[in-house]
Amino acid sequence: MYALTTAQMQALERYTIETIGIDGGTLMEIAGNAVVMALREHELLTHERIAIVCGTGNNGGDGFVIARRLIDLGYDVRIGLAVEEQQLRGDAKTQYHILKRRGIPVTLLIEEVQTTAWLASCAVLIDCLLGTGASGALRGHMTWLIPLINALEKMVVAIDLPSGLHANSGEVVDAAIEADYTLTLAQPKIGCYLQQASHYIGELIVVDISVPETLVDTLHMTAPTIVTPALVKAALPARPLDGHKGTFGHGAVIGGSQHYVGAPLYSAKAVFHSGIGLISLIVPEGLMPSMMLQAPEVLLKSAASEDGYMTKEGVALHDFTKIRAVAFGPGLGRAAQLQEVAAWLLALEGPETIIVDADGLYMMKPLLQHVRATGKCVILTPHPGEMAMLCDTTIAEIEQHRFSYARDLAQKFGVYVLLKGHRSIVATPDGAQWLIPIGSSALGKGGSGDVLTGLILSFVTQRVPAEQALYTAAYLQAETAEKLAAQHSHYSVTPEMVVTHLGQLIACFVK
Ligand SMILES: NC(=O)C1=CN([C@@H]2O[C@H](COP(=O)(O)OP(=O)(O)OC[C@H]3O[C@@H](n4cnc5c(N)ncnc54)[C@H](OP(=O)(O)O)[C@@H]3O)[C@@H](O)[C@H]2O)[C@H](O)CC1
Ligand SMILES: [K+]
C-alpha cells in the first residue's frame, strides 16, 4: 500500500482508462459498487435513513452510484446535490441522468434551513462533496454545508477524502468534514497523513476499485510505502532456538549527563525487552551511583567527565570491537567535548551502525558531510524541532513538507532518517520512504524518544536492515501505546509501561 499524491492517483486512473481500457464511466460504476460492499462489510450502514450529499465532480458521481446501488439493496436513501444541476460534468453528469431516468429524486441543498431539516432526518451521512479535485478555500454552498454537517454530529462516512481536506498537503483552509470513517479509493492519499488530517479522517479504510497497486511499479512511481502489520511481522529478527547472547548481538548506548539520568536508562531497558543479547550503557562517571541498581541486566560502564558531560578519552577507554551498533545521544546534553565524542565515534572501527538521537543530533550535525566516506550506516531519529535544526529551517516548514525534507536529508548525507511525529516517516539514502500510519498521543511525553532509540538499537544489533528496524520500532511503540491507552487512557501511559508491555504485542506477531 502506498501514500499517493493527486497527480499520481490521476496517472493511475488515466492508465487504467486509456491503456488497460476500463472506461471512466465503468470505473465510476466499479468504485461505487466497491464502496457499497465495503460499507456493508464494515457494518457502517443502518436501516434508518441514509443521506448522500454530492458535489460537482467525480466524487459526487461516485455518490450517485452509491445511492442507486443502496436503493437497489433496499436501504432508505436520500440524495442531495450541493450545486446546480447544470454545473455537473462528465461521468458525474451521466450518473446523475441515470438516477433521473430511474425516477430517483435528488434534492438541491442550496438553502440552509431546509437543508438542516433534510439532514437532521437521516442517521448516517455519506460525504461525496469533494475528493481529490478540491482546491483552495471552500466555495459556494460548501461554505455553510460542511460546517452544518459537522455540527449535526451524525455518523459521517467520507468517500475518498473528507471534503475540504487537501489530498496532497492535508491542509484544511476553512473547514472540512469531520468523518468517523473515510473510505479511500484505490490507494490512500498522502494528505491523509499530514498536518491535522487525522482529526478529519476517522478510521481509514482502503477500497479496491480495480486500479491495482502494481501499477505504482508499472508506472515507475516513487511513493512512500505504508507500513502494515505484515511488513512488521516480516521484519522481526529471526530467533533461532539454539541462539545465545552472541547470536543476538551486543549493542551500546552512549548517553546521560548531569541533568539527564533517566534518558539512557529508558533506551537500555527498551533494548532488553526486544531481543538483544547484551547491552552496554556508557554514562559519565558521576551518574554511576544513581544508575547502579536500576537495571541489573545492563552492563554499566563509566566514562570520565568534565562539567558533568563525558569526554572522548573517557568513552574511548572502553572496548568497542565486539559491539555491532551504538546509540549516541539519549540524555547526552550539549558541550564542546561531546562533538569530539561524535567525531571519534564516526571513525571508530567495530560498530557497523550508529543511531543518533536527541542532543547527539546537535553534536553530529557539523560532521554529517563525512558520513558517506566512513561507510558506516548512520541513522538519525529527529523530532520536528531537531529536524528543523538539522535542515536550518523552521518547524512549520518541516511539518508542511515532511516527506521532502526527510528524503532530501537522507539523500544529501547518505544517512537513514526517522522523522518522528504523529505519523512518523522513514527515509533511506537511495530515496525510498515508509510511512507509519499509526501514532499515539500517549507517546507525547519525555522518555518516549529514548525508548524508540533503544528499540531501533536492539533491532539493528540483531541484524535487521536499518529501514526495517526503523519502521518496526516505530510501529511497535505506537501500537503498544495505543493498546495501553485503551485501558489506562492516553494521559496515563508512561514510557516505562510501553517498554514492559512491548512483549505482548511482539508475541502476537511471532505466534
Ligand atoms: N481514483 C480513481 O481512480 C477514481 C476516482 N474517482 C473519484 O473522482 C474523484 C476526483 O474527481 P474530480 O472530478 O477530479 O474532483 P472532485 O470530485 O473532488 O471535484 C472537483 C470539483 O469540485 C469543485 N471544487 C474544487 N475545489 C472546491 C472548493 N474548494 N470549494 C467548492 N468547490 C470546489 C470544482 O468544481 P468547479 O465547478 O467549482 O470548478 C472541481 O472541479 C476522486 O476523489 C474519486 O472520488 C472516480 O469516480 C473513480 C476512479
Ligand atoms: K468526499
The answer to whether 96 and 88 are in contact (CB under 8 A) is yes
Query: Which helix H or strand E contains 52, and what residues bound it?
Result: strand 50-54
For atom 48 of ligand 1, the residue with the nearest CA is 28
The enclosing H or E element of 303 equals strand 299-303
Decide if pLDDT at 1 tops 90. yes
The residues whose Cβ lies within 5 A of ligand 2, an ion, are: 59, 127, 158-159, 163
Rg (CA), the chain: 26
Regarding whether 334 and 194 lie in a shared domain, the answer is: no
> Domain of 175: which CATH number?
3.40.50.10260
Looking at this predicted complex, what is its ipTM? 0.98
Are 214 and 242 in a shared domain? no
Residue 466 has pLDDT above 90, yes or no: yes
Of 188, 223, 258, the residue at which a domain comes to its end is 223
Do 390 and 248 share a domain, yes or no? Answer: yes
Core vs surface per residue 132-145: b (16+ CB within 10 A) or e: bbbeeebeebbebb
Q: Are residues 181 and 308 in the same domain?
A: no
Q: What is the 3-state secondary structure (H, E, C) of 80-149?
A: EECCCHHHCCHHHHHHHHHHHHCCCCCEECCCHHHHHHHHHCCCEEEEECCCCCCCCCCCCCHHHHHHHH
* CA-closest candidate to residue 261, choices 447, 419, 47: 447
Q: Quick one: 373 and 424 in the same domain?
A: yes
State whether 215 and 288 are in the same domain.
no
Question: Could you tell me how many residues make up the chain?
Answer: 511
Establish if 145 belongs to a structural domain: yes
> Would you place residue 29 in the very low, low, confident or very high pLDDT band (cuts 50, 70, 90)?
very high
Ligand 1 atom 14: residue of nearest CA: 133
Residues that constitute the known binding site: 58-62, 127, 131-137, 160, 163, 263, 331, 383, 420-424, 449-450
Tell me whether residue 98 is in a domain. Answer: yes
- Residue 511 is predicted with a pLDDT of 81
Distances from the Cα of 486 to the Cαs of 110, 200, 503, in angstroms?
42, 20, 17
CA–CA separation, 35 and 19 (whole Å): 24
Burial of 324 (0-12, 13-18, 19+ CB in 10 A): buried
Pocket test for ligand 1, best of 26, 109, 130 (most atoms within 8 A of CB): 130
Q: How far is the C-alpha of 204 from the C-alpha of 184, rounded, in Å?
A: 7
In a domain, residue 34? The reply is yes
Residues 300-309 have a mean pLDDT of 94
Nearest Cα residue to atom 4 of ligand 1: 13
Final residue before a domain boundary, out of 223, 243, 259: 223
The model's pLDDT over 475-508, given as tens digits with 9 standing for 90+, comes to 999 999 999 999 999 999 999 999 999 999 999 9
Residue nearest to atom 31 of ligand 1 (CA): 139
Name the residue of 30, 85, 129, 160 to mutate for ligand 1: max ligand atoms within 8 A of Cβ: 160
- How far does the centroid of ligand 1 lie from the alpha carbon of residue 364, in Å? 46
Ligand 1 atom at shortest distance from the alpha carbon of 16? 3
Which of 223, 257, 278 finishes a domain? 223
Q: What is the pLDDT of residue 47?
A: 86
In sequence order, what are the residues at sequence separation of 6 or more whose Cβ sits closer than 8 angstroms to the Cβ of residue 212? none
* pLDDT above 90 (res 118): yes
Mean predicted confidence (pLDDT) in 353-371: 97
The pLDDT mean for the chain works out to: 95
Residue 304 vs residues 44, 279, 289, 333, 426: alpha-carbon distances, Å: 62, 20, 14, 15, 35
Q: What is the pLDDT of residue 93?
A: 96
User: What number is the average pLDDT over the span 378-397?
Assistant: 97
The answer to whether 93 touches 106, Cβ cutoff 8 Å, is no
State the pLDDT confidence band at 259, using cuts at 50, 70 and 90: confident
**Which pLDDT does position 290 carry in this prediction?**
84
Residue minimizing CA distance to atom 41 of ligand 1:
57
Region of residue 284 (left: phi > 0; alpha: psi -120 to 50; beta: else): beta
Residue 26: pLDDT band with limits 50, 70, 90: very high
pLDDT confidence bin for 289, thresholds 50/70/90: confident
**Residue 361 sits in the same domain as residue 463:** yes
Q: Within a 10 A sphere around the Cβ of 230, how many other Cβ atoms?
A: 9
Task: Judge if 115 and 143 occupy the same domain.
Answer: yes
Q: What are the residues whose beta carbons fall under 8 Å from the beta carbon of 290, sequence distance 6 or more? A: 261
CB atoms inside a 10 Å sphere around CB 369: 11
Nearest CA to ligand 1 atom 45: 59
DSSP 18: I
Q: Which residues are annotated as a binding site for AMP?
A: 420-424, 449
Residue 202 contacts by C-beta under 8 Å, 6 or more apart in sequence? 156, 158, 178, 179, 180, 181, 182
| φ/ψ (deg, to 5) at 362 | -65, -40
Nearest bound ligand to the CA of residue 177: 2
Which is nearest to 419 in space by CA: 500, 111, 393?
Answer: 393
Return the C-alpha cell found at 204: 481509514
C-alpha cell at 28: 465510476
Cα separation, 1 vs 257, in Å, equals 42
**Main-chain phi, psi angles of 285, to 5 degrees:** -55, -35
Say yes or no: 417 and 505 in one domain. Answer: yes
Q: Which of 22, 23, 59 to mutate to test the pocket of ligand 1 (most atoms within 8 A of CB)?
A: 59
For the CA of 61, the closest atom of ligand 1 is 47
Q: Is residue 218 part of a domain?
A: yes
Residue 307's φ and ψ, nearest 5 degrees, are 55, 30
Let me know whether 41 and 146 are in one domain: yes
- For residue 404, give the C-alpha cell: 521532502
Half-sphere exposure of 409 (CA within 13 A, CB side): 31
- Show the cell assigned to 180: 468517523
pLDDT of residue 146: 98
Using CA atoms, how far apart are residues 483 and 293, in angstroms rounded to an integer? Answer: 30
Residue pair 394/405 in contact (Cβ under 8 Å)? The answer is no
Output the domain CATH number for residue 446: 3.40.1190.20
Dmax of the chain from CA atoms?
85
Burial status of residue 74 (CB atoms within 10 A of its CB: 0-12, 13-18, 19 or more):
exposed
**Cβ proximity of 426 and 235 under 8 Å:** no
Instruction: Kindly identify the ligand whose nearest atom is closest to the C-alpha of 65.
Output: 1
The reported pTM is 0.93
Write the DSSP symbol of residue 392: T
Averaged pLDDT, 387-402: 96
Asked if the model's pLDDT at residue 218 lies above 90, the reply is yes
Residues touching ligand 1 (Cβ under 6 Å) are: 9, 13, 27-28, 31, 55-62, 87, 130-140, 142, 159-160, 185-186, 209, 211
Q: Is the CA virtual torsion 11, 17, 22, 28 positive or negative?
A: positive
> How many domains does the chain divide into?
2
> Per-residue pLDDT for 293 more than 80?
no
- Together in a domain, 324 and 219: no
Pair (60, 107) in one structural domain: yes
Show the domain range for 492: 230-510
Grid coordinates in use for 32? Answer: 461505487
284 in Cβ contact with 305 (< 8 Å): yes
1 within some domain: no
Nearest-10 Cα torsion for 402, 407, 409, 410: 140
